[in-house]
Each structure stands twice: as structure tokens, then as C-alpha cells.
Structure 1
Amino acid sequence: MEEKPKKKTSCPNCGSVKLVRDYEHGELVCAGCGYVIAERIMDLGPEWRAFDQEQRDKRGRVGAPMTFSVDYSEPIILEKEGKVMILPIGEWVDSVLEESEEVRREGEVEMAPVRGYRTVVFDEDYKMKWAPISHVTRHPVSDPLYEVELEGGRKVRVTGAHSLYTVRE
């Protein structure tokens, strides 16, 4: 089998290939213009080393993992095998984690790969398209949830770390 060459990532805004991974904010940022190329980069690994099970059991994750969270009841638009559905995100994540045989646990965070599901996203031209969902995570939310009213009157509940965008034409 022929191996595909790795695609070199460049900034879609300025074309620069000088990119910086900002682990504190979970982003891939262009060093040239500051454009955020990818967000929600997640490192579930510990900030320490353990050489046996006893050491691992004594330690836990000390930093906060990804907290770009929405409320359990927020709807998500999903597509699987041509069927479109709108479900509360928490119920869907729970079902994925319950059915998965590949759940990874780090402290109070659970993560599992997702196969066959897509959701609606905005591309770099702010056009809606379907994109595959690669993973789900579930974690307790210790930060307060904020209710934000959007221009159209819809309200969403998110943590303070959640990114909200305004698109101007």
C-alpha cells in the first residue's frame, strides 16, 4: 500500500507555514498574522511521569483539560448515513460513551472516538458544510454557565471558555 505524503499545513489567511501550537488555549495559531487555524487541540496526557501503577494512582491531572463546553441540553445537528437529527448534546455524548469500547479516561475526563457522524460547521468562507466528528468528551463543569442571547433571539448556555463569533459580511 502506498503511503500518502503528509500535507503541510499553512495559514489560510496569509499562507505562512510558521505555525505555533498554543497548548494553554488549545489552538494552532499562525505566527505571521495571528490567525487561529485550529482550536480545541486537546492534550489529555498528564503533566507528570509515573514509572509504576502505584505512582500513577497517587497522581491526577493538575491542569484543566479542554473546557469549551456547552450545556448538556444544548441541541446538536447530526447526520449519520443520510439521516439528519437534532439531539441534546449531552444525551448524544452519553450514548456514544456507553456504546464505545475505546473510552479513554484521564481523571474526570472521558473521551471516545466517533465514527460515521457528521455535524454542521462553517468553512473558511463562512459557508455551512457537513464535517465529520472525530471524538466526544465528557467532563464535569466547575465553571459557571453563561446564557448568551444571539442576534436572532436564540439563547445558548456556554462556559466562559467557549468561543463565540460574529461574522460580518
Structure 2
Amino acid sequence: MNNSTLIYMFNKVLRTAILLFILYLIVTNFTTFLLVIAVIFLLIYFFIYKKLKSMSNGFKFTYTQNDFGTNQHQNFNFNDFDFNSFNQQFAQKPGLGEVEKAKEFFGFTHSPTKEEVKKRYKELAKKYHPDINGSDDTMMQQLNHYKDILLQYVG
């Protein structure tokens, strides 16, 4: 073996050793970094958990037989309760832009009545039904959406 071959082999071994050493440093430092992050998260979780647990001890609700012993609600009948009017109190009124879009979709130039909306809905439903449009239900979905808006608008 000549001298240049030995130098070449030595350079090859030295480069491989340096590469392996750099990879070793990267892996060990990254692993250490991940361990530090995991410990930090565990400590944060532990302190938050302890704080929440200490706060929850004062909020226990208990009921006794006497809490339900009063007869003030005994004759309440849920069938008499009008859920529609109750829900309408919390329903948002449609915006004017939505109402205008709905009127345009239905072809109204004036403020329609409830009966006009229902009549026009039936006509348009025959036109936009998915069975007629080859299973495309986007127009029917728009029709239903705009019908709800108009019915809510006219009250």
C-alpha cells in the first residue's frame, strides 16, 4: 500500500467519525430538549390540576328531599307549554340583506304574506326538487333556507 492510499482511507474514516459524532450530538441534545419540554409541561399540568382541585372543593351541590317537597310545580303540564313562542324570543331576526336575497330568489318585489310564501314555495319546490334536478339538492337547500328566512320575516 502506498502512502496516498493510507491518507485517503484515513480521511474517509475521519469524515465518517466526525459525521457520527455530529449525529450523536444532535440526537442527544434533541432528546434532552424533548425531556426538558416534557418536564415543563408536566409541572404546569400538576400545578393547574392542584389549583383546580383546590377550587372545586367548595362547590359541591347537594339536594335533600325537602328541596323537592314543595307542591308549587306539581300541576305543571309540559303539553301546555308553547315551545315555539319560547324559542322565537331567542331566535335572531334575519338581516335585511338575507331578506332581500330571499325575496329575489322567490321572485317577490314586495313584502309577501305568509300564504304567498307558502304558495310560491310549493311552485319552486316542484322546480328544484332533487328528483327532478338529477339528485342536485343545492337549489332545494337554498329554497328551504330562504323560505325559513321569509317566514321568519313576515312572522
* TM-score above 0.5: no
Q: Which has the larger radius of gyration?
A: 2
Q: TM-score range by the shorter chain?
A: under 0.3
Structure (1/2) with the larger helix percentage: 2
Q: With a CA cutoff of 8 Å and minimum separation of 6, indicate the structure with the bigger relative contact order.
A: 2
The two structures have a TM-score, normalised by structure 2, of 0.24
The two structures have a TM-score, normalised by structure 1, of 0.22
Structure (1/2) with the larger strand percentage: 1
